[in-house]
Amino acid sequence: MPETAANQPDGRDERGPAPPAGEQAIDRARRALIALAQRARAALVAQRAARGVAVALAIVTVLVAADVFLRLPAGLRVAHLILGAGAAGWAVWRRLIPAWRLRPDPAVVALRVERLHPEIAGLLASGIEFAEGSGRSRPSSQFEAALARAVARRAGAEFSREDLRGALRLAPLGHALLTLALVAIAGGSIALARPELARIGLTRALAPWSGAEWPKRTMVADVTGIEVHARGSAIPIRAALVRSTREPERTDVTVEHRAIRDGAAGPTRSELLTWQRRVTDTPAGARGELFERLIEVDAEAVEYRLVTLDDRTGWRRVRLVPPPEVVSARVRIEPPAYASGLARRGDAGPITEPTEADLGAGTDERAIAPPALAGSGVELALTLNKPVPAQPNDAGWLAATFGPDAAAAGLTLTVDPAEPNRWRLRWRLDDSVRLALSLVDEFGIAGEAEAVFRFPSVADRPASATITKPASDLTVLATAVVEVEGEGRDDVGLERVWLERQRVRPAGAQAGSPSGPGGALEPAGEPVRLAEIAAAGARRAVARATIDLAPLGLTPGDQVWLTARAQDVFASAGAPRPASVSAVRVLRVITEDEFIAEVRGELSAIRQSAIRLFEEQAQLRELSPDRRAGAEAQRRQGQITDRLQRLDQAVERAQRRVRDNALGDRALENVLDDAGRLLRDAGEWSGRASDRQARADLEREGPIDKEAERQVDDAQRRVQDELANLAELLDTGQDAWVARRRLESLLEDQRALAERTAQAGRQTAGKPVEALTEQERSELDAIVDRQNELAQQAEELARDLKDRAREMEESDPAAAAGMRQAARRARESDTAQTMRQAARNAQQNQTADAGRRQEQAAQDLEQMLEDMDHAERSREEVLRRVIASLIESLDALIAQQERALAALAAAEEAGDLAGLDRGMIRLNQNTLGVLDQASGAGRELAPVADLIGRAVEAQTRAILALRAEPADAPEARDGETQSLELLTEARARAEELDRQMQERQQDRARRELRRAYREALERQVELRESAGALAEVADPDRRQRLEIRRLAAEERDLAASLRDLRDKTEDIAQAAVFDYTHDRLDTATGRAAEALDAGDAGSALAPADTAIALLQGLVEALREEPPGERDFSENAGGGGSGAGGQGQPQPLIPPIAELRLLRQIQIDLARRTRRAADAGADADEARALGDEQAELGELGADLIRRMQEQQGAPPAGGPTP
């Protein structure tokens, strides 16, 4: 084929005939490949165009959707459009135009076909190149041209159109068209569903400058309705949400506001309103959800508008004006004419001279005017912050503006036309007035704070008169000199004050037949003015006088009545009031014997108080060494100091009374002087003890200061000594306290000397007297001298007990019997001789023998104390039986007296009192019998007997009134009423005395139980120390083994004694914590005894330590309760409506004691648990400790339940300790 044929598109050469068949075949192949290339270009252009359109449609859809929800601003939409146009141009330039310009060479297409058909690989592309004869494929010689034609013919022959099938991949085009179709369908569906929204969305997206808007989703309306508001108070902004696509709580309603100052608007602030969960009406008639917000603005005005997601109102302005208020108030008060000029500077009470006062703005304490007398004139000047409309002649407006008191006070209002913000009020102050101003301005704005002014009115009360000295009625001798003071007081002013006396004698005394005690009295002569003082308008005045009774010739039974009178300056219609008269102060003249008996009675009361203080100081001495009780001990010591001062004051009053009555009893005066000195000394030592206790408390964080504790104990002991001396000084043989105290002191000294002897014996044991050092010999000589002194005291005490028993035989037979028994025991046991023999043994350095005799002497003294205690217990039992009988008798008397009063009331109503005296006479006789019973029962019932005796006197007065002609019913009723009150009081005193005695018995039993526990503790400590010493011996010899067996026997004896104590004391079984402790004690002592029986002293130490801890807990639990804990235990023991009941004594083991014991056991268990943990305890020991803790928890829960039941509260499952 000619060379030029390949370059013709149709395969023919214009210069020659048609090419042969081979050239035609390759030409067809070339044209087919060119067509394939054109189809590929078209497919690529369509694919990229479809993808671009799909992306554009998707972006427009997303932007429209975002605009629906976000309401995109126009500027942002323009930016989106610009960005979209730029992106589309870039895509056309970079993607679509290159695809359109694509012109692939037929040879390149042939290569792609060869990859699909390996059988023509390397043939078709070469044939196309040779056929075209272009580039490097053009032959350079005839031979090469022939070869090229041969290749082209073969390629044409091998080519088939079927070879082009699959060369063009249309799948990407299909995917692009499918994507375009899906996007178009989605957008079209949205447009068909909401064509209007689709139109708005496309317009807003593609023509953002067109101003197209979405329909509003929310609509808000302003329902504030305020045009003028009070400046300084928050403005309530109210909005109605008429429409919203969301729930109200999820819709934001905002107020934008700005303050207007000097005509210029300030910065705008936004605040959210709060949905009020209710509906309101709008001015347009619609209804919407109410939103509110308080905004605070201090300006001339405020502008605001309401804004929601896509709605807002126009700006509205609220004018802010100050609310009306009182700026200042001033009052002028004119007192009544009679009171003018009486005031004195510094006097208290109503004003009595023209006074002006600043009342402020009516919002603070200045708004209360000074108290003014009734009838004073008041003028109140008010200054307001601005003019306020006033209606002075409108009573309703006055009441609404000034309060309800305005009309009652007759208030008048004057407004100054030149200064309308100044008001002036006037009225007469007859009663207290309260003006509560409620101001309202022309805009209807009320004042924020109500201004309240108070004007107290004080009525001019009558003067008061009082006898201030003597402060109470007195019993005096006929030789007494009495200082008298009478005081007059008035709230305005006094004119004068004076004192009067009136001599009174028993009725019939002048005729020689005076009435008896409690009988009628009659005046002897006219009242005598003692002193008078002109008060000159003072509000207080005192008249003073001294009465010497000696010149009056008074006799026992006479009385002097003292009165004070006061006249004030009050004038009403020109008529002064009568003078005020004080209550009568009575001076009763008695005999010297009665006077001395009264003074002795006062001293007896002082002595009893001193004895109680002695006992409290003794208890405090036991408490003070406890480091945990420092603050409590210091407080109680301070209380003792205060009570000693009060006792000293009582002695001073008794001294003054003896001196004023000119008794002339030097012995009694000496007793009083000595009593005062002893009390002052005791108070001084108590103060020192308190100070030393305080210093010791400051040092309690560090090591124990034995010297500080010794100083505290020494000061407390000195207080006890002074009190004991006082009790002995004032002893009149009425009780056995002094003897008992001497016996206790002797026992204490004997035990201290025995301990001193034992210490000396440890230094001198086995030495002959000649071998002792000078210091040892001196110590033994001191012991001998002290022992002989104690022997002498024992002899004197035995004689004194016998003498005192003889003196008390009539006043207290039981105590006398106890002292006789103690004296007999001292004589039979020859205690003094035992002490002297101990002194001789000590002199020969036979300290062991001396110690045994000293112990025997101490046991004799303890037995003597037991004899006295037994007698005291017997006496108390007898006395309680007497009290029970006395209460029963008093109940019968009270019932009889109540019937007599009822009969008197009925007789008064009937007008016939005849025969009523017979019933009262029978009652009087019965009461006298009960009085004899009470009087003969001992000194303890003396207060009860005194009340019954006074009831007898009241009954006698009632009988005399009933037998008078005519009968005096009021006097009889007063006498019978007084009798009933006295009998009821006597019964209450008897019950109180019985309760106190029962408490004393319980306290004594509690002390005895504690002493038994303390003795057991001492024995257990000794056994433990002995076992500890033997446990250190690795191989004990025969003597040491015998000693171990002896310790086992003593341990068993100790366990048996504790079991006996438990069996004898029934209250232990009722106290679960104590009962549990005894169970553990029995187990611990049993284990210790078993270990000692086995000869293993070391194994006995742990259970012995447990027993010691338990016994320490028992002793601590029964210690004397401080006042705070005593209150707690009383409340826990029945202070409410529970079983205990008010006034019931504490049980032998109160709840507070169980609580203390439980605490001690818990502390010991915690200590053992820590020790076991440190030692790596095994599982069995840990389980045992856990079981023990569980038992304590159950005990604690049971204790709480019992305490709640005793208090009347329902048991609750509270937590265990």
Specify the 3-state DSSP secondary structure of 342.
coil
* Per-position b or e across 202-229, b if 16+ CB within 10 A of its CB: bebbeebeeebeeeebbbbbbbbeeeeb
Contact residues for 142 (Cβ-Cβ < 8 A; gap 6+): none
**d(C-alpha 576, C-alpha 493), whole Å:** 13
Lowest-confidence region among 156-160, 476-480, 533-537, 1209-1213: 1209-1213
Buried b (16+ CB within 10 A) or exposed e, 752-766: ebbebbeebbeebee
- What pLDDT was estimated at residue 892? 92
Coil/strand/helix, residue 373: strand
End-to-end CA distance of the chain: 123
Tokens (6 digits) for 807: 């003196």
Distance CA 949, CA 600 (A): 20
Q: Is the pLDDT of residue 159 over 70?
A: no
Average pLDDT over residues 204-219: 79
Q: How big is the chain, counted in residues?
A: 1217
What residues contact residue 817 under an 8 Å CB cut-off, 6+ apart?
A: 805, 871, 874
Residue 205: is its pLDDT beyond 60? yes
**Per-residue model confidence (pLDDT) at position 139:** 56
What's the pLDDT band for 317 if we cut at 50, 70, 90? Answer: very high
Determine contact, residues 349/491, Cβ cutoff 8 Å. yes
Of the candidates 308, 303, 304, the residue with the CA atom closest to the CA atom of residue 291: 308
DSSP 130-179: HHHT-GGGS-SSHHHHHHHHHHHHHHHHH--GGGGTTSS--HHHHHHHHH
Q: Exposed, middle or buried by CB within 10 Å (0-12, 13-18, 19+), for 330?
A: middle
Look over the chain and give the mean of its residue pLDDT values, rounded to a whole number: 81
Q: Mean pLDDT, to the nearest integer, of 533-561?
A: 88
Instruction: Flag whether pLDDT at 522 surpasses 90.
Output: no
Q: Which fold has domain 878-997?
A: Four Helix Bundle (Hemerythrin (Met), subunit A) (1.20.120)
- CA–CA gap between residue 427 and residue 339 (Å, rounded): 19
Q: Which has more pLDDT, 351 or 889?
A: 889
Six token digits for residue 434: 């309260």
Render pLDDT for 448-468 as a digit per residue (tens, 0 to 9).
878 899 999 888 888 899 999
Given this model, what pLDDT does residue 575 score?
A: 61
Work out the pLDDT band at 519, boundaries 50, 70, 90. Answer: low
User: Could you give the CA distance from residue 984 to residue 980 in angstroms, rounded to a whole number?
Assistant: 6
- CATH 2.60.40.1930, the chain: domain bounds: 219-321
Evaluate if residue 224 carries a pLDDT over 60. yes
Residue of higher predicted confidence among 109 and 1079: 1079
Q: What is the pLDDT of residues 48-70, one digit of tens each?
A: 888 888 888 888 888 888 877 77
Least confident of 9-23, 84-98, 907-921: 9-23
Average pLDDT of 1105-1119? 85
Q: Where in the chain do CATH 1.20.120.230 domains reside?
A: 590-732
Superfamily of domain 219-321: Macroglobulin (MG2) domain (2.60.40.1930)
pLDDT: which is higher, 935 or 323: 323
Q: CA angle at residue 300 from 299 to 303, to 5 degrees?
A: 85
pLDDT of residue 1145 exceeding 70: no
The rounded distance, in Å, linking the Cα atoms of 98 and 151 is 35
**What string of H, E and C letters represents the secondary structure of 198-250?**
HHHHHHHHHCHHHCCCCCCCCEEEECCCCCEEECCCCEEEEEEEEECCCCHHH
Q: Which of 1131, 1136, 1164 is closest to 1150 using CA atoms?
A: 1131
The pLDDT of 129-144, averaged and rounded, is: 58
Query: Could you tell me the CA-to-CA distances from 498 to 494, 577, 911, 1190 in Å, in that order?
Result: 11, 16, 43, 80
Quick: pLDDT tens for 658-674.
Answer: 888 887 777 778 888 88
Selected from 1.10.3720.10, 3.10.20.80, 1.20.120.230, 1.10.260.40, the CATH number assigned to the domain covering 590-732 reads 1.20.120.230
Q: Flag whether pLDDT at 148 surpasses 50.
A: yes
Of the ranges 159-173, 304-318, 333-347, 388-402, the best mean pLDDT one: 304-318
Helix extents (H) in 911-968: 916-935, 942-963
Asked if pLDDT for residue 1121 goes beyond 60, the answer is no
pLDDT band, residue 959 (cuts 50/70/90): confident
The percentage of residues in the chain with a pLDDT greater than 70, rounded to a whole number, is 85
Reported as a single tens digit per residue, the pLDDT across 1178-1205 is: 777 778 778 878 888 888 887 788 777 7
**1123: number of Cβ within 10 Å:** 11
**Side chain identity at 497, as an amino acid letter?**
V
* Integer Cα distance of 569 and 339 in angstroms: 8
Which residue's structure tokens are 């924020």?
A: 448
Q: Answer yes or no: is pLDDT of 497 > 90.
A: yes
**Cβ 1141 vs Cβ 1133: under 8 Å:** no
Which phi and psi (to 5°) does residue 748 adopt? -65, -45
- At 3, the pLDDT band (50, 70, 90 cuts) reads very low
Distance CA(432)–CA(455), nearest Å, equals 6
Before 392, cis peptide (omega within 30)?
no
Which three-class secondary structure string do you get for 1061-1075? HHHHCHHHHHCHHHH
Q: Between 1047 and 1134, whose confidence is greater?
A: 1047
Name the residue with higher pLDDT: 140 or 42: 42
- Which comes out higher in pLDDT, residue 812 or 900? 900
Both structure tokens of 816? 């006398």
pLDDT category, 28, cuts 50, 70, 90?
confident
Q: Which residues does 43 contact at the CB level (< 8 Å), separation at least 6?
A: 168, 170, 172, 173
- Based on the number of CB atoms within 10 Å of its own CB, is 439 exposed (0-12), middle (13-18) or buried (19 or more)? buried
Phi, psi of 517 (to 5 degrees): -60, 135
Tell me the average pLDDT across 781-810. 85
- Amino acid 221: pLDDT: 93
Express each pLDDT in 554-571 by its tens digit. Answer: 888 888 999 999 988 876
- The closest alpha carbon to 1126, from 1215, 1210, 953, 1003, belongs to 1003
Query: Average of pLDDT values for 785-812?
Result: 83
